[in-house]
Amino acid sequence: MDSLPVLAALAIDAALPAGQFHRLRPRAAITALAPGDTDSPAGAALPRPEFGQEKSVFDGDFMIVAAGAVLLPSYEGANETSVLPAAAIAGRIGGIGISPRAAGLALDIVPERPDARAGLGVGPVLRLRMNRTARLKDPVVASLGKLRTVVEGGFNLGVTVKRVFNAHDQMSIGSDFRWDISGRGGGGVIAPSVSYLTPISRAQVVGMLASAEFADQRFARYNYEVTPAGSLASGLPVFTPKGGLKSINFGAFTARDLDGDLLNGGLSIGAGVMYTRLKGSAAATPLTSLRGKPSQWFAAAGIGFTF
């Protein structure tokens, strides 16, 4: 489901829809905490080691791979939920940043300045949209038939700012601009977001995010329309949707290194939750208003490996 930056809870990488994870510089944030001080609050006045005193897995190229499970509605606007396996990657290779998307990824091709307080991110994004492509639990919605998977492509633009509220936190603001490149009439989406990350110890980071999605007319008709033929098959009223605000989303997440030191990589665990409120035609369609609900909850948990 696209409302969840699908592995938001598997690790902090997937929770940042603006494609800025590799710019969040976990090393810069975590080395600000005194070595061995795993219980100190991130905002405390602690001795700050000079960069270079410690080696970090985040120096230069690095990768994070994560896998776990996600709880999500069986279709956008559904009452019923499903539990599905999920996986994601994030990192930086050859100066190119990699951030996950729901069934996809985004790249950042702008070189990073390690000592800069703010950094710009720009690059391509690709993802799959799979609304109503799997088996549907609601027989009325199922009678409308399945939708085909849509391939969305486009670009992301964002900025990351460090030391926003304390000496160690970081904020990412940006947006995806995506449209159907598979020729299936899936339309386009603009998805702005803001995410915040701060360490609470040398072993753990926490964060939160807020985002929205705006869909065009073609997107709305592909996903929410009930045609006269569909009305006859399902008993639902005919519905002609319009483009506009599709959803607003709020989430929180955390990740913790299993050996107590995020700087050295290795195994970590993550968990998170997201609330989505459908708006406009996404909420007004009979698929939501009569057979589902506009309030949607997502949750995920998993394990990741950084190297």
Whole-number pLDDT of residue 111: 82
Angular region, 36: left φ>0, alpha ψ -120 to 50, beta rest: left
pTM: 0.84
Q: pLDDT by residue (tens digit) across 35-85?
A: 333 333 333 333 333 334 567 888 888 888 888 888 999 999 999 999 988
Between CA 60 and CA 167 the distance in angstroms is 22
CATH of the domain at 81: 2.40.160.40
> How does residue 282 score in pLDDT terms, banded at 50, 70 and 90?
very high
Whole-number pLDDT of residue 15: 34
Between CA 156 and CA 285 the distance in angstroms is 29
Judge whether 244 lies within some domain: yes
Region 126-143: mean pLDDT is 93
Judge whether 55 lies within some domain: yes
Structure tokens given for 72: 């999500």
Between CA 142 and CA 287 the distance in angstroms is 10
**Helical residues (DSSP H) of 173-253, grouped into ranges:** 217-224, 228-234
Whole-number pLDDT of residue 116: 82
Percentage of the chain surpassing pLDDT 70?
82
Burial class of residue 24, CB neighbours in 10 A (0-12, 13-18, 19+): buried
Q: Tell me the HSE value of 120 on the side-chain side, using a 13 A CA sphere.
A: 4
Between CA 96 and CA 43 the distance in angstroms is 30
Whole-number pLDDT of residue 60: 83
Judge whether 27 lies within some domain: yes
Burial class of residue 267, CB neighbours in 10 A (0-12, 13-18, 19+): exposed
Judge whether 177 lies within some domain: yes
Judge whether 1 lies within some domain: no
Beta bridge partners of 266: 306
Whole-number pLDDT of residue 174: 94
> How does residue 263 score in pLDDT terms, banded at 50, 70 and 90?
confident
Which of the residue ranges 27-31, 79-83, 160-164, 217-221 would you say has the lowest mean pLDDT? 27-31
Residue 52: count other Cβ atoms within 10 Å of its Cβ.
9
Judge whether 3 lies within some domain: no
Burial class of residue 36, CB neighbours in 10 A (0-12, 13-18, 19+): exposed
Give backbone dihedrals phi and psi of 111, rounded to 5 degrees, phi first.
Answer: -60, 145
Q: pLDDT by residue (tens digit) across 154-210?
A: 999 999 998 899 888 899 999 999 999 999 989 999 999 999 999 999 899 899 999
Judge whether 60 lies within some domain: yes
Tell me the average pLDDT of the chain: 82
**Residue written as tokens 């776990």?**
68
Judge whether 5 lies within some domain: no
Beta bridge partners of 129: 150
Domain holding 24, by residue range, is 12-306
Please count the structural domains in the chain. Answer: 1
